[in-house]
Chains A and B, each alone.
Chain A
């Protein structure tokens, strides 16, 4: 009888990964531009050929800045960067300042939720996009599954932005991140990845809110001294009442 091989001695396969280590996908990931994050992502960056979901606790806390270095790198390719149903207007001067070639940017504004899903699937499956960013207000398992299947055969970086309250929903995405803004930076909770779960969030001080606005400053501006807007002192935080367009 043949001796039993220890599991560790089995020949490595890309489609099998051990729970205590990160998977080694066949395609290397796209460097995110943040070393702390790359170290924790299988493939050393944003995975391609897979669906990525980002759950921001509030819209506008830095989810686009998180992707900006990767997008700037992808914009060098001769393919579209598709933004499907973005919440607001992507602002051309700021994107250009991030180094994203605007000639590659394709902004799609579907009229309904069904059209958003359709457009996302077409863009992912088209082989003509280097990145597909899609803002989804809600999603069901079936449509996510379709997107994941399309992504598996696609060279595109496929990112879905979803509301944070849906983060606990089951999803076929291979990478799920929850984004939380803190005073000392942007905290990324990895909810799901191909590899061991990560207990502590990754903190990206580069994406601290002031640093995002003023990247040339090395020292974050100290957060002190409340200036009141209209002269009425009020300490309680209140919703700013921003409505997505």
Chain B
């Protein structure tokens, strides 16, 4: 068994900073007054829980009072800690990680454990897999510490103490865990109880600083001092006691939300945040072997109802790039009433979309040149629709009717070839251009009639009754026009088309 721990260092901070790629502004997250103070802090008042490197450089450190922090850095952006947002982010990470293995366990508050034992062959070994995850997670805007070990607890401990470590065999564990500080025992919570802070304080008080030193302690001595949890945790980490983890079941509906570090009405930061969410969605969809046809983006404002965008993809897809492109087009056309404070993504209708097999040389099996072109065709239509509106893009078909206005119909752009029979060639000529409305001719207009008349009289049955004599006429600049005389009054002439 190989467990991979994905640890999110500074989770309270990552919840706020992931929507912004830069670390330009100092940001600090503070706990609400009355909430439990961070270790070492005094009770009461708002305290800094986490700060980004810019803020750390300004001298702000976790545990500092909010007022002191603002005194140190007046331009500090402060955000309240969002415990619910942290839990949601952990779930999102777990959903995304489901593309690497189906065996996932959440280890709150800031760790996801993957049992990757069965996936190693597919991904080319644990080292390869870790590199791949570290590379892919950048698209989510998260920072991860990764570590692998044969037991979940050992993997967690290694990840907390700085990522990148791999322990492959169980018998290496005591030696590899020995240098870790006793503080890691804090994250050994399970259903059977936690290692209390007093127990860790006790160990530190008797001069123990590493796990290795703890391993030499007599069990009964620890038991007498009510610190059995320590022995128990060490046994679980070393694989001497079973450590079952409840499997994580991904939700069917995908919903995720990002808070922007600063409210913004610009298209760029909004598209950036949306891309972060779409990357997570793509991982979720890949894990489910499914795709979506549309998704909804909600742009939340302060004191105003959220703006909702529905983005249609045209096909069932889980292509992150395609979703990101279309989302950007939609966002670019928006006129926002107020700056956006948060972006939420929801994909309600998840449809099955099996993966495509690849040939020996990596190309998609059954890839025909036409297939890529069909993709490009739908993408073009969806892009144009996204920017110009649904009604601005369309096709036309001939329709069996003698009235020129009814002899064609607008249709949605079609993918399949035309099945409509070509029109009857025995009809007199028809112009390439039709005016949207027949234009009345003034008495002073001089045209030369060159052919005709062709009488079109139809439509008494559906309320659009026409009775016209159509002629070909030569205009002043040698345009050939399609004109008609209204038979109802016998007087008025109209231009209806141009032989372009």
Residue of B nearest to A60 (CB): B498
Query: Does B414 contact A128, Cβ atoms closer than 8 Å?
Result: no
Query: Does B433 contact A103, Cβ atoms closer than 8 Å?
Result: no
The answer for the CA separation of A123 and B381 in the assembled complex, in Å, is 9
Interface residue? B22 (CB, 8 A):
no
Query: Does B429 contact A240, Cβ atoms closer than 8 Å?
Result: no
Query: Does A237 contact B498, Cβ atoms closer than 8 Å?
Result: no
The answer for the CA separation of A240 and B499 in the assembled complex, in Å, is 15
B239 neighbours in A (Cβ, 8 Å): none
Query: Does B408 contact A235, Cβ atoms closer than 8 Å?
Result: no
The answer for the CA separation of A68 and B433 in the assembled complex, in Å, is 13
Interface residue? A221 (CB, 8 A):
yes
Which chain B residues numbered 386 to 417 have a C-beta less than 8 Å away from chain A? 387-389, 391-399, 404, 407-409, 413-414, 416-417
Query: Does A182 contact B472, Cβ atoms closer than 8 Å?
Result: no
A236 neighbours in B (Cβ, 8 Å): 446
Q: Name the residue in A105, A110, A213 with the highest tally of chain B Cβ atoms < 10 Å from its Cβ.
A: A213
A103 neighbours in B (Cβ, 8 Å): 395, 414, 416-418
Query: Does B446 contact A93, Cβ atoms closer than 8 Å?
Result: no
Query: Does A213 contact B480, Cβ atoms closer than 8 Å?
Result: yes
Query: Does B393 contact A89, Cβ atoms closer than 8 Å?
Result: no
Cβ contacts B272-290/A at 8 Å (1 or 0 each) = 0000000000000000000
The answer for the CA separation of A129 and B416 in the assembled complex, in Å, is 15
The answer for the CA separation of A86 and B435 in the assembled complex, in Å, is 11
Chain A residues within 8 Å of chain B by Cβ, number: 73
Cβ contacts B357-387/A at 8 Å (1 or 0 each) = 0000000000000100110110111011001
Given the known A-B contacts A57-B477, A91-B430, are A242 and B495 also in contact in the complex, defined by CB atoms under 8 Å? Answer: yes
Residue of B nearest to A89 (CB): B434
Given the known A-B contacts A103-B414, A107-B393, are A213 and B451 also in contact in the complex, defined by CB atoms under 8 Å? Answer: yes
Stretch at the interface among B163-171, B173-181, B437-445: B437-445
Query: Does A111 contact B388, Cβ atoms closer than 8 Å?
Result: yes
B442 neighbours in A (Cβ, 8 Å): 241
A57 neighbours in B (Cβ, 8 Å): 477
Query: Does A107 contact B380, Cβ atoms closer than 8 Å?
Result: no
A209 neighbours in B (Cβ, 8 Å): 474, 478-480, 499
Interface residue? A58 (CB, 8 A):
yes
Given the known A-B contacts A60-B479, A97-B430, A230-B493, are A107 and B436 also in contact in the complex, defined by CB atoms under 8 Å? Answer: no
Cβ contacts A54-77/B at 8 Å (1 or 0 each) = 000111111111001000000000
Which chain B residues numbered 479 to 500 have a C-beta less than 8 Å away from chain A? 479-481, 491, 493, 495, 497-500
Contact-residue size bin, chain B (C-beta under 8 Å from the other chain): 35 or more
Residue of A nearest to B333 (CB): A115
Query: Does A126 contact B376, Cβ atoms closer than 8 Å?
Result: yes
The answer for the CA separation of A227 and B471 in the assembled complex, in Å, is 11
Tell me which of A98, A101, A118, A119 contacts B432 (CB under 8 A).
A98
Interface residue? A181 (CB, 8 A):
yes
The answer for the CA separation of A71 and B398 in the assembled complex, in Å, is 18
The answer for the CA separation of A235 and B446 in the assembled complex, in Å, is 7
Tell me which of A212, A227, A232, A245 contacts B480 (CB under 8 A).
A212
The answer for the CA separation of A80 and B382 in the assembled complex, in Å, is 13
The main secondary structure of chain A at its interface with chain B is loop
A182 neighbours in B (Cβ, 8 Å): 478
The answer for the CA separation of A97 and B379 in the assembled complex, in Å, is 29
Query: Does B433 contact A108, Cβ atoms closer than 8 Å?
Result: no
Report the minimal beta-carbon distance from A96 to chain B, rounded to whole angstroms: 5
Given the known A-B contacts A119-B384, A122-B383, A210-B450, are A128 and B377 also in contact in the complex, defined by CB atoms under 8 Å? Answer: yes
Tell me which of B480, B493, B500 contacts A63 (CB under 8 A).
B500
Cβ contacts A82-102/B at 8 Å (1 or 0 each) = 000011111111111110011
Tell me which of A63, A78, A93 contacts B430 (CB under 8 A).
A93
Query: Does B446 contact A109, Cβ atoms closer than 8 Å?
Result: no
Interface residue? A183 (CB, 8 A):
yes
Query: Does A90 contact B392, Cβ atoms closer than 8 Å?
Result: no
Query: Does B384 contact A107, Cβ atoms closer than 8 Å?
Result: no
Given the known A-B contacts A107-B396, A122-B383, are A240 and B475 also in contact in the complex, defined by CB atoms under 8 Å? Answer: yes
Interface of A with B (CB < 8 Å)?
Answer: 57-65, 68, 78-80, 86-98, 101-103, 105-111, 115, 118-119, 122-123, 126-129, 181-183, 209-210, 212-215, 221, 223, 226-230, 232, 234-243, 245
What 4 pairs across the A-B complex have the smallest Cβ distances?
A: A181-B478, A92-B408, A60-B498, A237-B476
> Given contacts A91-B433, A214-B451, A215-B429, could you give 12 more A-B pairs where the C-beta distance is less than 8 Å?
A64-B433, A65-B499, A65-B500, A88-B436, A90-B433, A127-B376, A210-B450, A213-B431, A229-B443, A240-B441, A245-B435, A245-B436
Question: Could you give 11 example pairs across A and B, Cβ below 8 Å?
Answer: A62-B500, A78-B373, A88-B434, A93-B423, A94-B429, A96-B398, A97-B430, A109-B391, A210-B451, A223-B474, A245-B435
